[in-house]
Amino acid sequence: MVYLTRKAEFSAAHYYHNPEFSAEENQRIFGKCSNLNGHGHNYTLEVTVKGEVDARSGFVVDLKELKDVMHREVIDAMDHRFLNKEIAEFRDRIPTTENIAISIWNRLKPKLRVAQIHRVRLYETPDLFVDYYGEA
Amino acid sequence: MKAYLTRRYRFSASHRLHCHSMSEDENRSVYGKCNNPHGHGHNYFLEVTVAGPVDPKTGMVCNLADLDGFVNNKIVQRYDRENLNTLAEFSTAVPTTENLCIEVYNILDSGFHYAKVEKVRMEETMLNSFEYAGGREVRR
């Protein structure tokens, strides 16, 4: 089994706010991130797939296909977007790094036929990242 | 849905690798330059990984403010700008980055209760790093 990781970058705006919480609770729990005008990050996405090396091509996965799927399903959708307002799954779910990583997994999983997705790692900043392995 | 959140911190400290139960010659041969009697220092990078279900109300594994508060108070403040050999936990144990990693994991595991501590990873220099997950296999 060989693991292959491909990186991509996108920049997006978001804010953290739960309408079930009071204004004070939102401020206490989410701090600066609760500013409803939003703020943004340069996200770095790492997608790791795994599989056996094909005897003829020497590939775990056709990198072009992986790249195309990542761009079509994630980067084209999220890059230079306001996640809370423009991405369907974040209309009623807070776009934390955790939830964005899960959303990216859910977008990629059904589209990646050639290799098995192993991990989605999403950096919000160089000092903060989330890993999701599709665990319930 | 279970996610793993990793936060990176930094601190600078000095140490000397020297084992009291070894002879001077043995110490020099095992630890080389790191056995210099006057000590030397590193800029350490610490990565703390916590794991757990994502809270549907907050979208978080744990509140980053709680993790930052704990790590800064209990770990960064304890080690930053210190000589590790002078600290109680290294009065007998050699302050290698292996032992420092285990110490930091234990501080987190016994004191941080907002999420499960999955792993500690420590970079001593840009060329070497150490990981400890409480004796469990490290998840890749």
- Kindly state whether residue B64 falls inside one of the protein's structural domains: yes
- Please indicate whether, in this complex, the C-beta atoms of B60 and A98 are within 8 angstroms of each other: yes
- Kindly state whether residue B61 falls inside one of the protein's structural domains: yes
Residues of B in contact with A119 (CB under 8 A): 140
| Start-to-end C-alpha separation, chain A | 24
User: Residue A115's pLDDT is what?
Assistant: 84
When pLDDT is averaged across residues A113-132 and rounded to a whole number, the result is 95
- Kindly state whether residue B63 falls inside one of the protein's structural domains: yes
- Kindly state whether residue B140 falls inside one of the protein's structural domains: no
> Is residue B24 packed enough to be buried (19+ CB in 10 Å), middle (13-18) or exposed (0-12)?
exposed
Domains of chain A: 2-14+42-132 (3.30.479.10)
Residues of A marked as catalytic: 33, 80, 124
- Kindly state whether residue B97 falls inside one of the protein's structural domains: yes
When pLDDT is averaged across residues A7-12 and rounded to a whole number, the result is 98
Interface check A2 vs B, CB under 8 A: no
The fraction of chain A above a pLDDT of 90, given in percent, is: 97
A127 close to B8: Cβ distance less than 8 angstroms: yes
- Kindly state whether residue B25 falls inside one of the protein's structural domains: yes
Q: Return the minimum-mean-pLDDT range out of A43-47, A60-64, A129-133, B126-130.
A: A60-64
Give the confidence band of A114 by pLDDT, cuts at 50, 70, 90.
Answer: confident
- Kindly state whether residue B137 falls inside one of the protein's structural domains: no
- Kindly state whether residue B34 falls inside one of the protein's structural domains: yes
Residues of A in contact with B65 (CB under 8 A): 31
The fraction of chain B above a pLDDT of 70, given in percent, is: 100
Low-confidence stretches of chain B (pLDDT < 70) are none
Q: Does A113 score more than 90 pLDDT?
A: no
B47: containing domain: 2-132
| H or E segment to which residue B118 belongs | strand B116-125
| H or E segment to which residue B51 belongs | strand B40-53
CA–CA min distance B54, chain A (Å): 7
DSSP of chain A, one letter per residue?
-EEEEEEEEEEEEE----TTS-HHHHHHHHGGGG-TT-EEEEEEEEEEEEEPPPTTT--SS-HHHHHHHHIIIIIHHHTTEEHHHH-GGGSSS---HHHHHHHHHHHHGGG--SSEEEEEEEEEETTEEEEE----
Provide the domain count of chain B. 1
Number of A–B residue contacts, CB under 8 Å? 64
Interface check A130 vs B, CB under 8 A: yes
CATH number at residue B72: 3.30.479.10
Residues of B in contact with A99 (CB under 8 A): 54, 59
CA–CA min distance A18, chain B (Å): 7
- Please indicate whether, in this complex, the C-beta atoms of A3 and B140 are within 8 angstroms of each other: yes
